[in-house]
Structure 1
Amino acid sequence: MARRRSNGEGTTYPRKDGRWEGAAYVLTTNGVRKRIRVYGNTQAEAHERLTELKARHHQGIPTADKSWKLGDYLDYWLEKVINQTKRPKTHEQYELVCRLNLKPALGHHTLAGLSVKAVQAFLNEQAAEGHYSRRRIEMMRNTLSGALHHAMREELLSRNVARLAQLPGPAEEVEEVHPWSVEEAQQFLATAQGHRLYPAFVLALFYGMRRGEVLGLRWQDIDLASSTFDVRQQLQDVKGKIVIGPLKTKASRRGLPLIKAAAVALAVLQNQPDGPASPHGLAFTSTTGTPLNPRNFGRTFALLCKEAGVRAIKLHHQRHTAATLMLRLGVPDKVIQGILGHSSVSVTRQVYQHADMGLKRDALEAVEGILNLPTVDIGSSTDVDSESRCRQVSRQTPFEAVYTQAGSATKEKSPPLLWSTSFHGGPGGARTHDTLLKRSSDHCVHERITEVKKTMERRTRQWVLGVVAVNLAVNSQKISTDRTDRPG
Structure 2
Amino acid sequence: MGTRPSSHTRYRTNSPRPFRKVCTLSLGQQRVGNLGRKSYVFCEQQDGEPGTWKGDDSVKRARRHQRGYVFRKGSYWYLRYYDHEACPDGTLKQVQKCKQLVEFGGEYRSKSAVRVLADEFLAPLNNGTVSPASTMTVNQFIEKRYLPFIESHKEPSTYNGYKNAFNLHIRKHGNIGLREVRTFHIEQMLADIAREFNTAKTTIQHDKQLLSGVFRYAKRQGILNSENPVRDAVLPKYKETKDTHAYSLEDELMMIRILPEPASTVVALAAFTGLREGELRGAMWESYTGNEIRVTKSVWRKHIKAPKSKASKAPVPVIAQLAAKLDEYHQLCGSPQSGWMFPNSVGNPRCLDELALEVIRPVLKKADIEWHGWHAFRRGLATNLHRLGVQDKVIQAILRHSNVGVTQRCYIKTADSDVVSAMQKLEYATNVQLSAVRDKSEGRLPTM
> TM-score under structure 2 normalisation?
0.68
Note the C-alpha offset of 1:236: 1.2
Note the C-alpha offset of 1:359: 2.3
Task: Verify: 1:209 aligned to 2:275, yes or no.
Answer: yes
Q: Which runs of 5+ in 2 are unaligned?
A: 1-62, 85-93, 102-113
Name the SS of the counterpart of 2:394 in structure 1.
helix
Are residues 183 and 69 of structure 1, via their aligned partners in 2, closer, same or farther at CA, if it must alter by over 3 Å?
closer
Note the C-alpha offset of 1:66: 6.2
The 5 A counterparts of 1:20-419 are: 20-21=80-81, 40-41=99-100, 44=115, 45-54=117-126, 57=128, 61=129, 63-64=131-132, 67-106=135-174, 108-130=175-197, 132-157=199-224, 158-169=226-237, 172-192=239-259, 194-224=260-290, 227-237=291-301, 242-272=302-332, 281-299=339-357, 300-369=359-428
Name the SS of the counterpart of 1:244 in structure 2.
strand
Letter of the structure 2 residue corresponding to residue 244 of structure 1: I
The 5 A counterparts of 1:425-440 are: none
Note the C-alpha offset of 1:454: 6.5
Identity of aligned residues (%): 23
RMSD: 3.6
Letter of the structure 2 residue corresponding to residue 152 of structure 1: K
Counterpart Cα distance in 1 of 2:121 and 2:339 = 63
Counterpart Cα distance in 2 of 1:94 and 1:165 = 20
Note the C-alpha offset of 1:456: 4.4
Note the C-alpha offset of 1:215: 1.1
Note the C-alpha offset of 1:222: 1.0
Name the SS of the counterpart of 1:155 in structure 2.
coil
Asked if structure 1 preserves the Cα contact closer than 8 Å seen for 2:281 and 2:352, the reply is: yes
Asked if structure 2 preserves the Cα contact closer than 8 Å seen for 1:78 and 1:91, the reply is: no
Are residues 173 and 250 of structure 1, via their aligned partners in 2, closer, same or farther at CA, if it must alter by over 3 Å?
farther
Name the SS of the counterpart of 1:161 in structure 2.
coil
Number of residue equivalences:
354
Counterpart Cα distance in 2 of 1:316 and 1:209 = 9
Are residues 453 and 273 of structure 1, via their aligned partners in 2, closer, same or farther at CA, if it must alter by over 3 Å?
closer
Note the C-alpha offset of 1:133: 3.9
Counterpart Cα distance in 1 of 2:287 and 2:130 = 51
Are residues 295 and 184 of structure 1, via their aligned partners in 2, closer, same or farther at CA, if it must alter by over 3 Å?
closer
Asked if structure 2 preserves the Cα contact closer than 8 Å seen for 1:210 and 1:319, the reply is: yes
Q: Deviations over 1:438-458 (max 9, x none)?
A: xxxxxxxxxxx9x98874444
Are residues 96 and 282 of structure 1, via their aligned partners in 2, closer, same or farther at CA, if it must alter by over 3 Å?
same
Note the C-alpha offset of 1:167: 2.3
Q: Based on CA coordinates, which of the two structures has the bigger radius of gyration?
A: 1
Asked if structure 2 preserves the Cα contact closer than 8 Å seen for 1:12 and 1:22, the reply is: no
Asked if structure 1 preserves the Cα contact closer than 8 Å seen for 2:200 and 2:240, the reply is: no
Asked if structure 1 preserves the Cα contact closer than 8 Å seen for 2:263 and 2:360, the reply is: no
Note the C-alpha offset of 1:19: 5.0
Note the C-alpha offset of 1:139: 2.6
Letter of the structure 1 residue corresponding to residue 80 of structure 2: W
Letter of the structure 2 residue corresponding to residue 329 of structure 1: L
Counterpart Cα distance in 2 of 1:258 and 1:345 = 22
> TM-score under structure 1 normalisation?
0.63
Note the C-alpha offset of 1:309: 2.8
Asked if structure 2 preserves the Cα contact closer than 8 Å seen for 1:22 and 1:47, the reply is: no
